Chain A
Amino acid sequence: MTEAKEKSTLHVKDHDVVVPGEVLAEGMEYLPSQGTYRKEDKIYANQTGLLILEGKVLKTIPLASVYLPKKYDVIIGKVIDILMTGWRLDTNSPYSAVLPLKDATFDYIKKGTDLTAYFNLDEYVVCKIFQVTSQNLVDVSMKGPGLRKLQGGRIIKVNAAKVPRLIGKRGSMVMMIKSATDIQLIVGQNGLVWLNGEPEKEMLAIEAIRKIEREAHVPGLTERMKKWLEQKTGKKIEIQEMPEEESYDHRPSRYNGPRRDGPRHGGQHEPRRDGRPRRNSPFRGSRR
Chain B
Amino acid sequence: MAYKKRHDGRKPTETRTITAKAGIIPKADGSGYFKIGNTEAFAAVYGPHELHPRNKQNPKQGLLRCTYNMMPFSGQGNRVRPGPSRRSKEISMVMEKALTPVADLSECPNAVVDVFVELPQTDAGSRCAAISAASIAMADAGIRMRDMVAAVAVGMVDGLAVVDLDYEEEAWKEGDVADIPVAMIPSTDEITLLQMDGRLSKEELAKALEQSLPTFQQIAEAQRNAIKQRYADAAKSIKE
Contact = CB atoms under 8 A, between A and B. Distances in A.
Interface of A: 17, 19-23, 35, 37, 39, 44, 46-49, 62-66, 68, 94-96, 134-136, 161, 214-215, 217-218, 224
B143 to A, nearest CB: 8
30 contacts: A17-B228, A17-B232, A19-B228, A20-B139, A20-B145, A20-B147, A21-B145, A21-B146, A21-B147, A21-B187, A21-B224, A39-B187, A44-B187, A46-B104, A48-B142, A48-B227, A62-B142, A64-B30, A64-B140, A64-B142, A66-B47, A66-B108, A66-B142, A94-B47, A94-B49, A94-B50, A94-B112, A95-B50, A215-B234, A217-B234
Q: Which 6 A-B pairs have the closest CB atoms?
A: A21-B147, A94-B111, A65-B142, A64-B142, A17-B231, A20-B145
B142 A68 contact: no
Nearest to A160: B142
A19 B223 CA distance: 9
A64 B49 contact: no
A161 B143 CA distance: 12
B12 interface: no
Contacts of A218: 234-235, 238
Interface in B9-51: 29-30, 47-51
B148 interface: yes
Given A46-B144, A94-B108, A136-B108, A17 B238 contact: no
B186 interface: yes
A35 B146 CA distance: 10
B110 interface: yes
Interface in B147-167: 147-148
Among A44, A49, A94, A214, the one with the most B-chain Cβ atoms within 10 Å of its Cβ is A94
Interface residues of B, number: 41
Nearest to A221: B238
Contacts, number: 102
Contacts of B235: 215, 217-218
A47 B108 contact: no
A224 B238 contact: yes
Contacts of A44: 146-147, 187
Contacts of A22: 224
Given A95-B110, A96-B50, A217-B234, 7 more contacts: A35-B144, A44-B147, A46-B144, A64-B141, A65-B141, A66-B142, A94-B48
B148 A20 contact: yes
B148 A19 contact: yes
Among A20, A64, A65, A68, the one with the most B-chain Cβ atoms within 10 Å of its Cβ is A20
Nearest to B234: A214
Contacts of B119: none
A161 to B, nearest CB: 6
A37 B238 contact: no
Interface in B164-193: 185-188
B84 interface: no
Nearest to A218: B235
Contact of B238 (A20, A161, A215): A215
B234 A68 contact: no
Interface string B106-130: 0111111000000000000000000
Nearest to A216: B234
Contact of B142 (A39, A47, A95): A47
Contacts of B62: 94
A47 B48 CA distance: 15
B98 interface: no
Contacts of A35: 144
A181 B29 CA distance: 29
B53 to A, nearest CB: 15
Contacts of B185: 21
